[in-house]
């Protein structure tokens, strides 16, 4: 599989699959994290004397034109970040759009309209892929966030393009979520949150034996606590995965992996912005109370385990972090991980909800790597293959 730095780009047209699936607010980009993450690859192509055609999806228009999901606002945001004109086509495969790409001069930039306005994108339709491939001589996949899907713009185009490679962002994601996780510097600590164990089974099993400790918060912790016979009040339990939780605890015992579960919780009778809450040890949880965040004793325990970590891998908030009252644990552990990173540890944040929670509280700086992918990062961290990368390997 080629890297972008392996290719001669001078005077070439380059078609880059980027991930510009960003939130919009009133027709303006509300969070440009993913756009900024794509800049090193775009700038590398421009500096090498290539013309650049960019393609992306935005939201889920389900194969229909939805004006509110146009990438037009992204073109304006990108112009500001690149400090150069970005041409925009209102269709990704029209004769006009393809003609514009084919007439581009070196160092010009052209953004195509939302790929998912056509059903052929998600269906990996060969005809649709063929039209996309007409835009350029070289295909670069830098959209890590969609690499767990087999779509026309990543798998289909890769099968047609004469030359293809991964971009600089993709290379960085693979370095941290692949190589570092396969052979982490020890001690290695994994932090897991979120609601369902089912989403994290493969990740947990992949890290057994590689991680020294796995710290479990979020609602999923209560499923493990219930297996251990602890009082969980009315906390959310993943009933479908009780046996799995038991198997994981047994596997941890066999691989000498230290699983650390909450000792206390920030609990309340209901989940709402104005809910009453209190800190309670597990024994003190009432029947009508659920835990919505890790408590201070658990936070201290987690911080102690993290204090000598050399590699830290985090996937999932430790509480219902969108509600400030239940975000304290996530914020405190984020600060601890940032401190440990400053002391030389490698810290990897697995994108998605974790990245959103950290950004909400201004804690998204100071980590070694924050992934741009949610589902893709979870899949790669779980040791699974990504279809978009397999296509690049197969057709390289």
Question: Annotated catalytic sites, by residue?
Answer: 34, 196, 352, 375
Residue 6 to residue 183: CA distance in whole angstroms: 26
DSSP strand pairing (346-349 vs 86-89): unpaired
Residue found by looking up tokens 């918060």 in the block? 217
Angstrom distances, CA of residue 193 to CA of 105, 175, 318, 349, 373? 48, 23, 5, 12, 17
Residue 209 to residue 390: CA distance in whole angstroms: 27
Residue 116 to residue 5: CA distance in whole angstroms: 29
SS3 286: coil
Contact 137, 14 (CB under 8 A): yes
Angstrom distances, CA of residue 348 to CA of 143, 323, 341? 18, 24, 10
Which tokens sit at 12?
A: 């070439």
Residue found by looking up tokens 């796995």 in the block? 214
Residue found by looking up tokens 């590699």 in the block? 311
Residue 323 to residue 309: CA distance in whole angstroms: 29
- Count the helix, strand and coil residues of the chain and give each as a percent rounded to the nearest 5: 45, 20, 40
Contact 142, 16 (CB under 8 A): yes
């Amino acid at each position: 599989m080629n890297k972008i730095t392996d290719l001669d780009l001078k005077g070439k047209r380059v078609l880059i699959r980027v991930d510009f699936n960003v939130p919009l607010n009133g027709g303006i980009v509300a969070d440009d994290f993913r756009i900024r993450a794509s800049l090193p690859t775009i700038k590398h192509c421009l500096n090498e004397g290539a013309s650049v055609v960019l393609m992306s999806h935005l939201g889920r228009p389900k194969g229909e034109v939805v004006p509110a999901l146009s990438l037009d606002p992204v073109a304006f945001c990108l112009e500001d970040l690149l400090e150069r004109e970005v041409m925009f086509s209102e269709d990704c495969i029209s004769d006009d759009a393809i003609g514009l790409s084919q007439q581009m001069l070196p160092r010009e930039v052209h953004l195509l309209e939302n790929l998912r306005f056509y059903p052929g994108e998600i269906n990996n339709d060969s005809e649709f892929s063929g039209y996309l491939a007409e835009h350029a001589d070289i295909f670069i996949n830098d959209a890590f966030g969609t690499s767990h899907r087999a779509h026309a713009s990543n798998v289909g185009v890769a099968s047609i393009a004469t030359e293809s490679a991964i971009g600089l962002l993709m290379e960085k994601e693979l370095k941290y979520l692949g190589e570092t996780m396969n052979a982490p510097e020890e001690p290695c600590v994994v932090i897991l949150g979120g609601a369902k164990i089912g989403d994290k089974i493969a990740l947990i099993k992949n890290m057994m034996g590689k991680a020294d400790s796995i710290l479990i918060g979020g609602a999923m912790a209560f499923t493990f606590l219930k297996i251990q016979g602890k009082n969980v009040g009315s906390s959310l339990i993943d009933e479908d995965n009780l046996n799995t939780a038991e198997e994981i605890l047994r596997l941890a015992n066999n691989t000498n992996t230290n699983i650390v579960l909450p000792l206390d919780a920030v609990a309340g009778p209901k989940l709402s912005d104005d809910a009453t809450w209190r800190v309670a040890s597990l024994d003190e949880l009432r029947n009508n109370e659920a835990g919505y965040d890790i408590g201070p004793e658990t936070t201290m325990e987690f911080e102690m385990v993290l204090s000598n970590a050399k590699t830290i891998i985090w996937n999932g908030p430790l509480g219902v972090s969108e509600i400030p009252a239940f975000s304290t644990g996530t914020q405190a552990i984020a600060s601890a991980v940032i401190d440990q990173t400053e002391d030389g540890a490698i810290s990897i944040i697995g994108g998605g909800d974790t990245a959103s929670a950290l950004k909400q509280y201004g804690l998204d700086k100071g980590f070694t790597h924050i992934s741009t992918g949610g589902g893709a990062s979870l899949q790669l961290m779980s040791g699974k293959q990504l279809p978009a990368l397999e296509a690049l390997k197969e057709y390289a």
